[in-house]
Structure 1
Amino acid sequence: MTETPNPHIVDADTLTGEMRPIRRVVIALGSNLGERMASLQGAVDALADTPDVWVTGVSPVYETEPVDAPEGSGAYLNAVVLADTTLAANRLLDRALAIEDAYGRERTDEVNSPRTLDVDLIVVGDRRSDTDSLRLPHPRAHERAFVLKPWYDLEPDAVFPEHGPIADLLGKTGLEGLTHREDLALEIG
């Protein structure tokens, strides 16, 4: 099923009272400002507290140098969360943005500017979307080791829609600049 901005097409799973499918979601977390680890743990807790979202796994934490970021940007802490949800993709996006806002995320026009928290929807079941506000699957995640490696740690046999097995994608991106932070661990509430 494809997400669509057409107001005349109704997505059946968003109708009140209808059965909504359970979708597997992959959510990437990142922070390179402030209390980075506290922001990541707060995002995991907020996702776990979201009605109709069931967090099933949290990856190890990795530290990475910023990619395509302004000079002087600090290193990121990154992790991936796996969850099941019956929420529509746009409602899950609204929740992700609210969580970012709660942790002081400031949005600027500067590309890849430093941030207290980044909560990115990578995959939401088999949903496809190509709107200004929501692109699914995430358009660049298949090229980013800081998403692929934590996801691989949780689901080594996972397949990135339209791009293939994440193990193969990770082989192409490599692990350069990615450091497993064994001293840090996120917990599911």
Structure 2
Amino acid sequence: MNQVFVLLGSNIDKEKNLPTAVSLLRQSCTVTAVSSVYETIPVGLRHQPNFWNTAVLLATPLDAPTLHQTILRPLEQQLNRVRTYDKNAPRTIDADIILFNNDVFDFDHHHIPDPDLLRFPHVAVPIAELAPQMPHPETREPLAKIAQRLLAELTAREGQPVVWKRPDVQLS
């Protein structure tokens, strides 16, 4: 079985869409863990609602392209995801493969591990919650250290918190 870390994010009707996305994943995959929900400031387009993000750990026999095409994209379509020219536009749901086992590879214009894991705290923090000591497949740095570094850098740059846990939101 493949161990796959998927990041879910929403800033349109997020109170409904994020729990629904987790529920849909449970119907089609074995969900072994779900992180806390984190509220995050938007990247790029600032004049939009904050996002809610969560990481989901899946156990699946599917390879990455099949998981992407038969589970994640249909999930996004079911929740009315509209893709626009701006990858930072508001969305009902975003479901991305971040880590696939400890593998490094490319498929369908995607790189695994997702490069955003080394760029954005809204990706690194939820993933690191599920596997803090796991080394990044390329850099070998523990995921918790990546998350701490990115969070500190962006918080200092923004002068305010950029990612915060939502203990009032339960998905599991």
Residue 41 of structure 1 pairs with residue 41 of structure 2: no
TM-score by length of 2: 0.87
Partner amino acid, structure 1, of 2:51: Y
State the identity as a percent. 32
Question: Alignment partner for residue 118 of structure 1, among 80, 94, 101?
Answer: 94
Contact 1:143/1:169 (8 A) holds in 2: no
- The CA deviation at 1:131 is 4.1
**1-side partners of 2:120 and 2:143: how far apart?**
11
- The CA deviation at 1:104 is 0.7
- The CA deviation at 1:113 is 0.8
Q: 1:88 to 1:131 in 2, by over 3 A?
A: closer
Specify the SS of the correspondent of 1:111: coil
1:100: which partner in 2? 76
Q: Unaligned stretches of 5+ in structure 2? A: 156-161
- The CA deviation at 1:133 is 3.4
Specify the SS of the correspondent of 1:115: coil
Residue 72 of structure 1 pairs with residue 47 of structure 2: yes
Residue 181 of structure 1 pairs with residue 156 of structure 2: no
1:61: which partner in 2? 37
What is the root-mean-square deviation in Å for CA atoms of aligned residues?
Answer: 1.5
Q: Deviations over 1:14-41 (max 9, x none)?
A: xxxxxxxx111000010011x2022111
Residue 157 of structure 1 pairs with residue 142 of structure 2: no
Say how many residue pairs are matched: 162
The higher radius of gyration belongs to 1
Contact 2:65/2:108 (8 A) holds in 1: no
1:6: which partner in 2? none
Contact 1:148/1:166 (8 A) holds in 2: yes
Q: Deviations over 1:84-126 (max 9, x none)?
A: 1110110111111110111010011113111010001001113
**1-side partners of 2:116 and 2:83: how far apart?**
19
2:63: which partner in 1? 88
**1-side partners of 2:46 and 2:127: how far apart?**
28
